[in-house]
Chains A and B, each alone.
Chain A
Amino acid sequence: MGNSNGKKEKKFISLVIYLHDAAAYLKYFLDTVIPVCTDHFEQFEIVCVDDASQDGTVDLLKEYAEKNQVKVMINVVHMSFFQGLESAMNAGRDIAIGDFVYEFDDIFVDYEPEVIIQVYETLLQGNDIVAASSKGKLRLTSKVFYALYNNTSRGNVKIGPETFRIVSRRAINRIKSMGLYIPYRKAVYMNCGLKVATINYHSKDVNVRIKNKTVVSERTALALDSFIYFTNVLERVSAVICGVFLLFTVGMGIYIISDIFNHTKPVEGWLSTMGFLALGFFGVFALLTIILKYLSVMLSLIFKHQRYLVSDIEKVVKR
């Protein structure tokens, strides 16, 4: 490893790392990433986002920094309470100062260290966002999600599973100007109109991975949210439901009118009751269609709110 000509990259690099009860992988991750970055980059910083870890991840980080005499600057952003990957990483990216920012959504390393540099080199070839994606087997739920998402997304770039990515300052500026709140980074990056690329690698040791319950439930919620934010699946579904019921009430109306002309009287008062109901439901469904439209407009307004709460930014001190 190391640069063949011995020259290090002059660009300033930030590594933003998501930490939530990740003590088990932290040492291996830092052992992998820090040497690679020290070899290739003259200047870099590490921003760890601690999303309310309960298992001593941050203490471990400090211990590691002290024991290994880590020279690079490490900052820890403490989230006030568990806020999930997306909010936490938005906070981390906002504090990072690098020309290029690595986003490690997960510190589980199932790739060769070289991939980290490959991603950087691909970025230099004129891409603004480069992701590293595992070719390993995907969970069925993830497969379904990506298939459904890519078929209904408003954007034209497809998304897939990503382990980490690197983003240029230009891309960060672009997505900031698109809206202040970023609910799902992957989708926003892919839709920002700049050049994107993906590096695929064969993952190793995936079976060692331990599932984290809070993370799993958060991911499910995020998947649903993303459908609402970035695709028109739910809008379409609700429009179809509204349409069906609208048709049904109209059909009912026609049936009643034909009854009146045929002078059939099934039960006393049936016609007037049904006529009222049909008219009433017609109104309700017409109104619902309008409300749905309003909701989708409001959704885009809500995008503009900042939505993370940070309790503290702490520098990992040297003594």
Chain B
Amino acid sequence: MRQYDKIIIGAGLYGLYAAKFCADKGQRVLVLEYDDRPFERATYINQARVHMGYHYPRSLTTAVKSAGYFRRFVEDFGFCIHHKFDQIYATSDKFSWTSAGQFQEFCRAAGIKCEEEAVSKYFKPRMCDGAFLTEEYTYDAKILQKFYEDALDGCPGVDMKFEVRIRKIVKQGKTFLVELEDGAGYEAPYVLNATYASVNQIIEKVEGIQKELFDIKYELCEIILCEPSKALKDIGITVMDGPFFSIMPFGKTGLHSLTAVTFTPHVTSYEAQPVFSCQKDLGPDTYCTPENLGNCNTCPHKPDSAWPYMSHLADKYMKPEYGYFYVKSLYSMKPILKSSEVDDSRPTAVRVLSREPEFVSVLSGKINTVYDLDEFL
């Protein structure tokens, strides 16, 4: 049995950020991770967008908060950020919940850059009613991963365990005992649940506290990586605000990520825990069940790529000179707070389920709101 000041479950950005934050304060920290490496899931598999708030024209609070954290994140993590490209936001002429004028108005209110560009430069005639040059960057998860691996490697106070299977978490007086399937056990007066899509699964494993699950649905999402043409190389394009698409640089990889609101999610689960038909197809005794979510990206049972759909949608809007070729698809599970569907906001949800000992769960869909954790650590 080992004693720690904090046990952090999940080695994504939120987990490792918290580990470093606490280690810097001189605390002894244990990080437990399901996969064999950090950053194998949502931290790596997403649009890699450092959000400035443009995405949320229907939720000014989310926008203003994103903009505030944007600067801080860019300062702290500048080494992994790619900013030498033009990020174009456009509003679709048809089916957009926000018009070009409303988008400009919104940017002014949020105090973020929004310079009008010629729609005809990027888009086919009559597809968009406005195009704007904005300030938004992309981060490279692999570089960020290297940074954290190096930083935590040299930290005497931090232990990291990979390929960990948690059996249960038991409240014992003023500490939590985290028991693993292999019989090992670890104790700490503080547990941080930073597992994103597994957040409810971990809460279910806790014994001795009042449980309250996050009201979320789950979407199995596909991010397509593609090789951009010369014209597209230094441009990111996002068409708003509705069932549209985004194609933008994917960190410093030289590739672009292609995503579409309708086609990126493949299958959805509305249960409290992620229940999917593909888990049954895998057969019994697999590493992915409604109680323990496997890694969708390494799963042999991935859905077929939605490339034909996504590329057709993008081609319908973009001028042919902005071409791109398919390279590969990445899959990950995305939990979405049901309360945020109407205004499309993405609040960081932090829940303290127990005070002494402390059990904190965090759920956030954005990388640069990681600072929301500070006050809970």
**Which A positions have Cβ atoms within 8 angstroms of B?**
12, 42-43, 45, 73, 75, 91, 94-95, 97-99, 173, 176-177, 180, 306, 310, 313, 315, 317-319
B243 and A95 within 8 A (CB):
yes
What are 18 A-to-B residue pairs whose CB atoms are below 8 Å? A12-B308, A73-B306, A73-B309, A91-B95, A94-B94, A95-B94, A173-B124, A173-B126, A180-B126, A313-B95, A313-B242, A317-B265, A317-B268, A318-B267, A318-B268, A319-B268, A319-B275, A319-B276
Chain A residues whose CB sits within 8 angstroms of the CB of B94 once the complex forms = 94-95, 306
Residue B277 lies at the interface, judged by CB distance under 8 Å to chain A: yes
A294→B243 CA distance, assembly (Å): 40
B313 beta carbon closer than 8 Å to chain A: yes
Bound together, the chains give a CA A99 to CA B306 distance in angstroms of 16
Interface membership of B233, Cβ < 8 A: no
Contact B268 A97 (CB under 8 A): no
Q: Are A97 and B309 in contact (CB under 8 A)?
A: yes
Within 8 Å CB of A45, what residues of B?
A: 309
The residues of A that contact B65 with a CB separation of less than 8 Å are: none
Give which listed residue, B124, B243, B308, B316, contacts A43 with CB less than 8 A.
B308
A90 nearest CB neighbor, chain B only:
B94
Known: A12-B312, A95-B94, A173-B125. A315 touches B262 (CB 8 A): yes
- The answer to whether B214 has its CB under 8 Å from any CB of chain A is no
Taking a contact as CB atoms under 8 Å apart, the answer to whether B308 and A319 are in contact is no
Complex CA distance for A164 and B125, rounded to whole angstroms: 27
CA distance A91 to B95 in the complex (A): 8
Instruction: Tell me, rounded to whole Å, the shortest Cβ–Cβ distance linking B208 to chain A.
Output: 33
Shortest Cβ distance from B309 into chain A, in angstroms? 6
Q: Check: B263 CB closer than 8 A to any chain A CB.
A: yes
What residues of chain A lie closer than 8 Å to B275, measured between beta carbons?
Answer: 319
Which among A97, A177, A180, A317 has the highest number of chain B CB atoms within 10 Å?
A97
- Measured CA separation A319–B266 after assembly (Å): 9
A319 contact set on B, CB distance < 8 A? 267-269, 275-277
Contact between B243 and A313, CB atoms less than 8 A apart? yes
Contact across chains for A97 and B95 when beta carbons are under 8 A apart: no
List which B5-61 residues lie within 8 A (CB) of chain A.
none
Name the CB-closest residue of B to A310: B95
Quick one: CB contact mask for B287-311 with A, threshold 8 Å, 1 for yes? 0000000000000000000101100
Q: Which residues of A contact B312 (CB under 8 A)?
A: 12, 43, 97-99
Query: Are the C-beta atoms of B277 and A97 separated by less than 8 Å?
Result: no
C-alpha spacing A97/B262, complex, angstroms: 12
Residue from A42, A75, A315 with most neighbouring chain B CB atoms (10 Å): A315
Decide if B309 touches A177 in the complex (CB within 8 Å). Answer: no
Among residues of B, the one whose C-beta sits closest to the C-beta of A73 is B309
The minimal Cβ–Cβ distance linking A306 to chain B, given in whole angstroms, is 8
Query: Closest Cβ of chain B: how far from A136's Cβ, in Å?
Result: 36
The majority secondary structure among interface residues of chain A is mixed
- Determine the distance from Cα of A42 to Cα of B304 in the docked complex, in whole angstroms: 13
CB neighbours (8 Å) of B306 from chain A are 73
A-chain residues with CB within 8 Å of residue B95 when the two chains form the complex: 91, 94-95, 310, 313
- Near A by CB (< 8 A), chain B positions 236-277 give 242-243, 262-263, 265-269, 275-277
Q: Which of B117-175 contact A (CB under 8 A)?
A: 124-126
Q: Which residue of B lies closest to A71 (CB)?
A: B304
Chain A residue at minimum C-beta to C-beta distance from B304: A71
Contacts of A306 in B (CB 8 A): 94
Question: What residues on B are CB-neighbors of A97 within 8 Å?
Answer: 309, 312-313, 316
Docked complex Cα distance between A263 and B266 (Å): 94
A75 to B260 CA separation, bound complex (whole angstroms): 13
Chain A residues positioned under 8 Å from B263 (CB to CB): 73
What 3 pairs across the A-B complex have the smallest Cβ distances? A43-B308, A317-B268, A94-B94
Q: Known contacts A95-B95, A176-B126; can you find 11 more A-B pairs with CB under 8 A?
A: A45-B309, A73-B263, A97-B309, A177-B125, A177-B126, A306-B94, A313-B95, A313-B243, A318-B266, A319-B268, A319-B277
Measured between beta carbons, the chain B residues less than 8 angstroms from A75 are 243, 262
B267 engages A317 (CB within 8 Å): yes
Smallest CB gap from B303: residue in A: A318
User: What is the chain A residue whose CB lies nearest that of B310?
Assistant: A97
Within 8 A of A (CB), among B79-101: 94-95
CB proximity of A73 to chain B, nearest CB, Å: 6
B290 to chain A, nearest CB (A): 12
Who on chain A is nearest to B94 by CB? A94
A43 to B124, CA, bound (A): 23
Chain B residues with CB under 8 Å of A43's CB are 308-309, 312
Q: Residue of B at shortest CB range from A45?
A: B309
Closest A residue to B275 using CB positions: A319
Closest to A42 in B: B308
Docked CA distance A285–B177 (Å): 95
Q: Determine the chain B residues whose CB is within 8 A of the CB of A180 once the complex forms.
A: 126
| Cα distance A33–B73 in the bound complex, in angstroms | 52
CA distance A306 to B129 in the complex (A): 13
Tell me the bound Cα distance from A173 to B316 in angstroms: 11
A98 to B309, CA, bound (A): 9
Q: Which of B263, B266, B308 has the most CB of A within 10 A?
A: B308
Least CB distance from B124 to A in Å reads 8
How far apart are the CA atoms of A99 and B315 in the complex, in Å? 10
The smallest C-beta distance from A92 to any residue of chain B, in angstroms, reads 11
Q: Which residues of A lie under 8 Å from residue B309 when comparing CB positions?
A: 43, 45, 73, 97
Give the CA-CA distance A113 to B276 in the complex, in Å.
35
Q: Please report the C-alpha to C-alpha distance between residue A177 and residue B93 in the assembled complex, in whole angstroms.
A: 13
Inter-chain CA distance A48–B316, complex, in Å, is 19
Q: How far is the CA of A313 from the CA of B95 in the complex (A)?
A: 9
CA distance A94 to B317 in the complex (A): 12
CB distance from B377 to the nearest CB of A (A): 37
Cα distance A97–B310 in the bound complex, in angstroms: 9
Which A residues lie within 8 Å of B267 (CB)? 317-319
Contact residues in B for A177 (Cβ distance below 8 Å): 125-126
CA distance A319 to B274 in the complex (A): 10
Point out the residues of chain B lying under 8 angstroms from A99, CB to CB. 312
Can you name the residue of chain B whose Cβ is closest to the Cβ of A10?
B308
Which residues on A sit within 8 Å (CB–CB) of B242?
313
CB distance from B242 to the nearest CB of A (A): 7
CB neighbours (8 Å) of B265 from chain A are: 315, 317
Interface centre among A73, A98, A177, A319 (most CB of B within 10 A): A319
- CB proximity of A316 to chain B, nearest CB, Å: 10
Across-interface contacts of A94 in B (CB, < 8 A): 94-95
